Amino acid sequence: MPLEAGLLEILACPACHAPLREEQIPENPELVCTGEGCALAYPVRDGIPVLLVDEARRPA
């Protein structure tokens, strides 16, 4: 389930404050930081972004 368009425009990475982009993977949707040095991936659970650095996945 994609996020509302207006919501994605106001969300930012809690670690570096860069904009987030949505990656629509059916089993595990994520919001990925667009910051060069950050690139954390935050999970979306039941349509709700979990913007906690402790819950984020580090890039491979």
Residue 3 has pLDDT above 80, yes or no: no
pLDDT class of 16 with cuts at 50, 70, 90: very high
Phi-psi category of 21—alpha, beta or left, where left has phi over 0 and alpha has psi -120 to 50?
Answer: beta
- Partner residues linked to 57 by β-bridges: 41
pLDDT > 80? residue 52: yes
